[in-house]
Structure 1
Amino acid sequence: MTTEPGLRAEAADLEAVRAWFDALSRHVQKVDYEGARPLFDNDLLIFGTFQDFVVGQPESERQQWRNVWGTIEGFQFRIGDVRALVSPDRLFATGLGIWDSTGFTEDGTPFDRKGRATVTLERRSVDEPFVATHTHMSLFRGTPDRSYGRKPKAA
């Protein structure tokens, strides 16, 4: 078990949690909805911007991802700073991360769009990658809640 403050995870488990956050970053950057789907449980439960809860990966994609990913640039979690709390059986984890990105005002002016995420992750065995069962992503205070960029989605 690591002794670093804010972590409760074996090194391999922390690496697996960080790998999940890194994979999500790459899919958001590419606006790759299809590629991101395997990172999430089909019964995903999230807090939504447009309603209190969003149930299911397809609805999360429709109501959240598609309203954000194509409007921002440079989305990247600070992978070295991702924290993890992992269950003793190593099959459940809570990952916490900070991201950086660029948003755009209606007139195209870029702005810093930083935020944070808490993600619950599960897997059937320690040899499998984690899959998200819940996400809560929020922007830092004072950050505009809407970006108006226009980026094409992945082919």
Structure 2
Amino acid sequence: MSNEVQEVKDWLRAFDAAVRDVDYERGKTLFADDVVGFGTYASMLEGLDKLVEGQWKNIWGVTRGFSFRLDEAHIGVDGDTAWIASPWDSEG
């Protein structure tokens, strides 16, 4: 496994820990201010504050056991860009 792929897996571990701990501030440190995101609650949100308010705060508090299935993750890295396709597990 390349160092770059390991860094992406470390990022996923940090993010799923923030979700499990309902730690929005820690989660925010993992994203750029101009993030574009979506999820179960919101179809499309532009900007970190909108992502936190419109998705995370509606989901994280009612989700238990969130974790990515890293052994099934598909990860690609090219320079300073990475992509991830990974299933996850959670309840709630």
Cα distance in 1 for residues equivalent to 2:66 and 2:39? 19
Residue 46 of structure 1 deviates from its aligned partner by 1.6
Q: Which residue of 1 aligns with 2:91?
A: 102
Q: In structure 1, what is the Cα distance between the partners aligned to 2:63 and 2:36?
A: 23
Q: In structure 2, what is the equivalent of residue 93 of structure 1?
A: 82
Number of equivalences: 92
Q: Which has a greater percent of helix?
A: 2
Cα distance change, pair 51–70 in 1 and its aligned pair in 2 (3 A):
closer
> Kindly tell me: are residues 73 and 49 of structure 1, through their superposed partners in 2, closer, same or farther at Cα, counting changes over 3 Å?
closer
Partner of 2:5: 14
Select the structure of larger CA radius of gyration.
Answer: 1
Distance in structure 2 (CA, Å) of the matches to 1:25 and 1:41: 17
Q: TM-score, normalized by length of structure 1?
A: 0.55
> Residue type of the partner of 2:84?
G
Describe the superposition over 1:14-50 as per-residue Cα deviations: whole angstroms up to 9, x where unpaired.
1011111111110000000011111000000123555
Please tell me whether the aligned partners of residues 14 and 83 of structure 1 are also in contact (alpha carbons under 8 angstroms): no
Which residue of 1 is the match for residue 45 of structure 2?
A: 54
Between the two proteins, what is the percent identity of the paired residues? 33
- TM-score, normalisation: structure 2: 0.90
Gaps of 5+ in 1: 1-9, 104-155
Q: Greater strand percent: which structure?
A: 1
